[in-house]
Amino acid sequence: MRFSLNFVKELIKIDLPAEKVAQLLTMAGIEVEHFERQGEDYVFDIEITSNRYDWLSIVGIAREIAACLGKKLDIKYPKVIKSPLIKDKLIKIENSTDCPFYIARRIRGVTISASPGQLKERVINCRINSINNAVDITNYCMLKWGNPLHAFDEDKIEGNIYIRRAKEGEKFIGIDEKERILNRENLVIADDSKVIALAGVMGAKNTEVTEKTKNVLLEAAIFSPLWIRHSRRAAGIDTDSSYRFERQVFADYLEHASAEAAGLIVDICGGKIAAYGQAGRRPQSKDKKVLLELDKLNEYLGVQYPKSKVKSILVNLGFKVKEPGKNKLALLAPKHRSDITEDVDVYEEISRIYGYDKIKQQIPAIAHEVVKNEIYEFKKELRQFLCALELNEIITYSIESDEELNKLGYGNLIKLVNPLRAQENSLRPGLSLGMIKAISYNLNRNRSNLRFFEIANVYSRGQGSFCELPRLSIGICEEGKDLFYLKGIIEEVFKFLNINDFEFKEKSLFFCVNALEVFVNKKSAGFLGKLDEKFESELELKKDLYLSEFDITILQAARKLKCYSAMSPYPAVFRDISIAMRASKHFSDVEKTIKEKKEYISDYRIIDTYKGKDLEQGFCAFSLRIFYQSNQRTLTSQEVDEIHNAIRTNLSVQEGIKLR
């Protein structure tokens, strides 16, 4: 926002140089980005935070400067006259949510010409083009009070005035002479035959005030910030008026702005105020009471504030102050301060006006016991281990396209009410889509050996609320690496976490083939599988992609502390078994048989696979090596053979398994 220092001086006497004013405002929380001399004036560019709409006015800026200087701003309010009433026009509001309050003042017999020097200077120095005296007055009062106004050539208005949503396909030519096609997202001001303004944004060319104008209808209104934002975006327009309406305007100043503008039009343009009309009801600000305890204030900020200083700051900011107790102040927040809701908000007001630079630097107290965020530490360890497995971490967007998510079978999505882009309109319920996009992006740039993982939150609907849960996603796209490689990575993760009770079961997944569901302690913890060729083709993936995804909370709950034991000083021996197994059987059946003989078995692994003509159709063959070892003594050949033969016997009686 841009403001003129001379404009501020109309409300408060300031003898400070511009540099000091800039420093004063910056320390009070209004960041001055730049200021420069312009003739006899200084023009400031400031950054306004979204919660301080009251700073979008000269009155608001003057109030802050006054408070910083220890003064109370004395605002002169214009006399508000509401008679006689307009009887030949009706003002009709279609929806009170879109426009709760609308007022109009009729000024007749005006002479429209160039603005006098001071008025023109004030407007131009605040980065608004000078048009003519009537229009410049509306902009002057908007700048002063923060409430946008609009002047219509009343003779060009046909019949009544309506505040309504635009009809689908309705045309609007603004004062910028550009034609726009409107829709139901646009809020408009219309007469009996046409649109005469895009409400809160821009007036129409068909009712523009020109040198031929003799009668003016002055508009002032309260519009919904949400619908002004919708309307402005739909029309592709951004104006000083919409900028203020989007951030809310102070309803109590509406009639002051309108009354002052009408008075200035009479003084500068001639004519007389002929009538007044209104529709709706002015929104009433609720009283916000806050109890301020000085002991808590001083403890919170680490400064001993005198009660007199605290009272002075608050009074100058517009608070009403009473003393119900020795170290207590009962406050009534100013109506224009919607951001004041509790005592900590008042702490901020006192500290910024008193001066952040006056708060002494000190080392904060550190508790003896630091409570760690367990899930954070768990994710940190998991992340380090996956990096040790030579996987690269990726970070993807948490907002995705509902169309793409639906393709992967995700439903019941959490959609954004007002997405910036159609391609980013839903919170992700899983990490797989982001992983697929990351792999695709890298493949399209001729990168190979892609082994990625991501640890991030996903979002879903719970019972009456939304759920945010941490997930782990792993993606492998590398020549020579397949689903078994991914399964091996997952098993290594389980070993690292000391999770022993896990199993893989076949699962049907919408976007994966050869999918396995992973159970940890009998709970479904995640899945792994190969991306279906259909989706590979749609996403133009040039290689096979293997995916997995896990619920980190289940992994954390199942994790066990590692108990280290000494290595056996005695030698291990091994025996091999050649097995032919029907393809429909699972290797887990073989593992189960081996694990039944827990004593002395230290490890087992597949050392070779075989495919040949002598192998029965539908069977696969492999060699299994089993290691035997004791921690107390060297095992004898007879002991090892007894255990090994028992395993062979148990395997041979199983259907679908043959010993070779």
Give the CA angle between residues 203, 207, 212 to the nearest 5°: 125
Closest Cα partner for 53 from 244, 230, 223?
Answer: 244
Q: In b/e form, how buried is each residue of 82-94, taking b as 16+ CB within 10 angstroms?
A: eeeebeebebebe
CATH 3.30.56.10 fits domain 289-354? yes
Please state at what angle helix 343-354 crosses helix 307-316, rounded to 10 degrees: 90
The per-residue pLDDT for 356 is 83
CATH number given to 91-280: 3.50.40.10
Residue with tokens 């511009």: 18
The per-residue pLDDT for 302 is 83
> Do the two domains 2-68 and 91-280 of this chain adopt the same fold?
no
Q: Residue 376 — φ and ψ, nearest 5°?
A: -65, -45
C-alpha 425/C-alpha 404 separation (Å) is 11
Closest Cα partner for 160 from 104, 224, 107, 202?
Answer: 104
The per-residue pLDDT for 495 is 92
pLDDT higher than threshold 70 for residue 369: no
The per-residue pLDDT for 216 is 97
The per-residue pLDDT for 423 is 82
Range in 129-138, 184-193, 351-360 the model is least confident about? 351-360
CATH number given to 573-659: 3.30.70.380
431-460, pLDDT tens digit by residue? 999 999 999 999 988 898 999 999 999 999
582-636, pLDDT tens digit by residue? 888 888 888 888 888 777 888 888 899 888 778 888 888 999 999 999 989 999 9
The per-residue pLDDT for 371 is 45
pLDDT band at 370 (very low <50, low <70, confident <90, very high): very low
pTM above 0.75, yes or no: no
Closest Cα partner for 640 from 592, 599, 591, 590?
Answer: 599
**Residue bearing the bigger pLDDT, 588 or 169:** 169
466-498, pLDDT tens digit by residue? 889 999 999 999 988 999 899 999 999 999 999
**Torsion region of 52: left, alpha or beta (phi above 0 gives left; psi -120 to 50 gives alpha):** beta
Task: Give 374-558's CATH code, choosing from 3.90.470.20, 3.90.330.10, 2.60.40.730, 3.30.930.10.
Answer: 3.30.930.10
The per-residue pLDDT for 367 is 55
178-226, pLDDT tens digit by residue? 999 999 999 999 999 999 999 999 999 999 999 999 999 999 999 999 9
35-47, pLDDT tens digit by residue? 999 999 999 999 8
- Inter-residue contact 216 to 270 (CB < 8 Å): no
65-99, pLDDT tens digit by residue? 999 998 888 889 999 999 999 999 999 999 999 99
H or E stretch at 150: strand 149-153
Q: Residue 631 — φ and ψ, nearest 5°?
A: -90, -10
Q: Domain map of the chain by residue range?
A: 2-68, 91-280, 289-354, 374-558, 573-659
The residues, ordered by sequence, that sit 6+ positions from 170 with a Cβ below 8 Å of its Cβ are 181, 182, 186, 188, 195
Average pLDDT, the chain: 91
Task: Give 2-68's CATH code, choosing from 3.40.50.2300, 3.30.2040.10, 3.30.56.10, 3.40.50.300.
Answer: 3.30.56.10
Strand ranges inside 384-511, DSSP E: 392-393, 399-400, 414-415, 426-427, 450-461, 466-477, 502-506
pLDDT higher than threshold 50 for residue 59: yes
